[in-house]
Chains A and B, each alone.
Chain A
Amino acid sequence: MTREAFERDLRRLADDVVQMGRRAGEAIHRAVEALQKRDVALAGQIIAEDDAIDAAHLELEQRCLRLLATQQPMAGDLRAIASVFAITIDLERMADHAEGISRAVKRLGSAPLVKPLVDIPHMEARIQEMLRETLEALRTHDAKRAARAAKMDDVVDELRNRVLHDLLDIMIKDPQTVPRALELLIVARHLERAADHLTNVDERIVYMVTGEMRELNV
């Protein structure tokens, strides 16, 4: 083995990006929890903590650039570093959606919700499942698992459409509900986008493992 330090850096990079993914998932989870519990203080905390995830993203990006510049990686190493570089961007965006949900929670304050929360927690649960599978695929270099994880995006989209239709009905029946209904619609939209970012991550994993660059779930 001639490149021990490089191999160690690559492993740490992979570990740290998985760790960043867990933090982004945690932020999404807590944001939906803040909505369910109507916990404005928790929402504020999530917004404040997003800076740390942004910093983690920048730090990972810099490490990728340093490895590209100093190690001049090729083949599988090059794909791994290029993929991590792209994946951290999607994970950072995913965490931004947690921040967006938290802002909606703050705007809603203690105003009563226009409908019980059913589909939104379901969306969140599907995203967590998708994230778990995605991070496991990333950790174990499993392209098939990443492709299966990307497939879960369809369920999230379906749930989002259901939320949209329900909220439209409510808004048509009682225009008074529009401002509050829109906030829930925004939350659903953030969750749907978070799942889209995970699909991008899955595409990068497939590329990292196989060298094939293509869209999953089009």
Chain B
Amino acid sequence: MVQVMEVPRVDRQAAALIDHTTGIQADQVHAWFDRLHALRGISMSIAERKITAIIGPSGCGKSTFLRCLNRMHELVPGARVSGKVVMDGQDIYTPGVDPVQVRRRVGMVFQKPNPFPTMSIYENVAAGLTLAGEGDRRRRDEVVEQSLRAAALWDEVKDRLHKPGTSLSGGQQQRLCIARALAVSPEVLLMDEPASALDPASTLRIEELARELAKDITIVIVTHNMQQAARVSDFTGFFLDGQLIEFGATNDIFTRPQDRRTEDYITGRFG
């Protein structure tokens, strides 16, 4: 007898992640800007060495969530966080944890490329090392080259390392910022709309780069571009009004989302 099975209403989050190691576990994360309750209890497992995309309409809390993952949210005056963000068994919000150390382990790349304007290409990449007190010139040279190679920029800039970072094109500047983030060997890279200011070819290079980097590090990317999320990520979470509405394997989210609101958002019916 032929029967049409309903799409099983299983917990896709659990099912999707079953074969993966957790890189970051967010547990009941709430965030406020003064009295504005921007995140309302986000619990989410982020798989290690995979790309997790966060999508949702403007103001849904996706960037705020990203900033909670490396303790940058608290830098905003009046901002507050509660809940747990566990990496390697430790909650990064435990009193006594140094937020600067957290940010070394969890790097970030922003929407607009922001190379340090007075610094050369070399100095931009070496900046984190210099701050961390890496005095050995040869070691710095090595790390700068490795990081620029990892960011797929080395061949384009190796002959002009001492030119200003701002002399590069937008796409190159963004890869420079990625190289700068990679120089301190982070375990996680947060990317907040990393390609939204770039042309299509530069966008695809950043996406390819993200895929390449995900062999070694965990990536969380916030994007407004549905195709980008679909192309680049392994897992996708849909945020709405500060809540995680649906989370699962990217392929499932974009071909057969379970929640009507996810469907409406990704098919362009609102947001």
B256-A217 in contact (CB<8A): no
* Chain A CB within 10 Å, residue with most, of B3, B257, B267, B269: B267
Instruction: Check B4 against A74 for contact (C-beta < 8 Å).
Output: no
A213 → B minimal CB distance (Å): 10
Contact with A along B249-271 (1 / 0, CB 8 A): 00000111100001100111110
- DSSP majority for the B interface? loop
A73 contacts partner chain B, Cβ-Cβ < 8 Å: yes
Q: How far is the CA of A151 from the CA of B263 in the complex (A)?
A: 31
Contact B268–A75 (Cβ < 8 Å): no
CB contact under 8 A between A75 and B269, given known A147-B2, A147-B4, A212-B7: no
Residue with the greatest number of chain A CB neighbours at <10 A, chosen from B227, B257, B266, B268:
B268
Q: Which residues of A contact B19 (CB under 8 A)?
A: none
Residues of chain B within 8 A of A147, CB atoms compared: 2-4
From B256, B267, B268, B270, contact of A211 by CB (8 A): B256
CA distance A206 to B7 in the complex (A): 11
Q: Is the interface of A mostly helix, strand, loop or mixed?
A: helix
Which of A72, A144, A206 is close to B226, meaning CB atoms less than 8 Å apart?
A: A72
Closest CB of chain B to A148's CB: distance in Å? 7
Q: A1-B269, A77-B267, A210-B7 are in contact. Are A150 and B2 (CB under 8 A)?
A: yes
Number of A positions contacting B (CB below 8 A): 25
Cα-based distance from A217 to B3 in the complex (angstroms): 10
Q: B6 contacts the other chain (Cβ, under 8 Å)? A: yes
Chain B residues bordering chain A, tally (CB within 8 A): 20
Residues of A30-78 contacting chain B, CB below 8 A = 72-78
Complex CA gap A1/B270 in Å reads: 7
Q: Separation in Å of the A113 CB from the closest CB of chain B? A: 35
| A146 (CB) vs chain B CBs: closest residue | B4
Contact across chains for A74 and B269 when beta carbons are under 8 A apart: no
Q: Is the CB of B4 within 8 A of A144?
A: yes
CB < 8 Å: which of B226, B227, B268 contacts A2? B268
B230 at the interface (CB under 8 A from A): yes
Task: For the complex, give the distance between the alpha carbons of A19 and B262 in Å.
Answer: 32
CA distance A73 to B267 in the complex (A): 6
Q: Within 8 Å of chain B (Cβ to Cβ): is A8?
A: no
Closest residue of chain A to B2, judged by CB? A147
B131 at the interface (CB under 8 A from A): no
Q: Are A72 and B267 in contact (CB under 8 A)?
A: no
A89 adjacent to chain B (CB < 8 Å): no
B76 within 8 A of A: no
Q: Is the CB of B254 within 8 A of A148?
A: no
- Flag whether B5 is at the interface (Cβ < 8 A): yes
Query: Which B residues are in CB contact (< 8 Å) with A211?
Result: 7, 255-256
Q: When the two chains form their complex, are residues B227 and A72 in contact, meaning their CB atoms are under 8 A apart?
A: yes
Among B2, B227, B254, B256, find the residue whose CB has the most chain A CB atoms closer than 10 A: B2
Residue interface mask A141-173, B partner, CB < 8 A = 1: 001101110110000000000000000000000
Q: Mark A109-147, 1 if CB is under 8 A from B, else 0.
A: 000000000000000000000000000000000011011
Counting chain B CB atoms within 10 Å of each CB, the highest count among A73, A75, A212, A216 belongs to: A75
Is the Cβ of A75 less than 8 Å from the Cβ of B5?
Answer: no
Decide: A75 near B255, CB < 8 A? Known: A210-B7, A212-B7.
yes
> How far, in Å, is A71 (CB) from chain B's closest CB?
8
Q: With A74-B254, A75-B257 as known contacts, state yes or no: A216 contacts B2, CB within 8 Å.
A: yes
Residue from the list B3, B7, B254 in contact with A75, Cβ < 8 A = B254
Evaluate whether A3 and B255 lie within 8 angstroms (CB atoms) in the complex, with A76-B263, A217-B2 already known. no
Q: How far is the CA of A78 from the CA of B251 in the complex (A)?
A: 12
For residue A3, which residues in chain B have a CB less than 8 angstroms away from its CB?
267-269
Partner of B267, one of A74, A143, A217: A74
Write the chain B residue with the least CB distance to A72.
B227
Cα–Cα, bound, A72→B6 (Å): 27
Query: Which residues of B have CB within 8 Å of A2?
Result: 268-270
B255: chain A residues within 8 A (beta carbon): 74-75, 78-79, 211
Distance of A172 from chain B, by nearest CB (Å): 37
Please name the residue on chain A nearest to B256 by beta carbon: A211
Q: What are 6 A-to-B residue pairs whose CB atoms are below 8 Å?
A: A74-B268, A78-B254, A78-B255, A79-B255, A147-B2, A212-B5
20 further contact pairs, Cβ within 8 A, besides A72-B227, A211-B7 = A1-B269, A2-B268, A3-B267, A3-B268, A72-B226, A73-B267, A74-B255, A74-B267, A75-B254, A75-B266, A76-B267, A78-B255, A143-B4, A150-B2, A206-B4, A210-B5, A211-B255, A212-B4, A212-B7, A216-B2
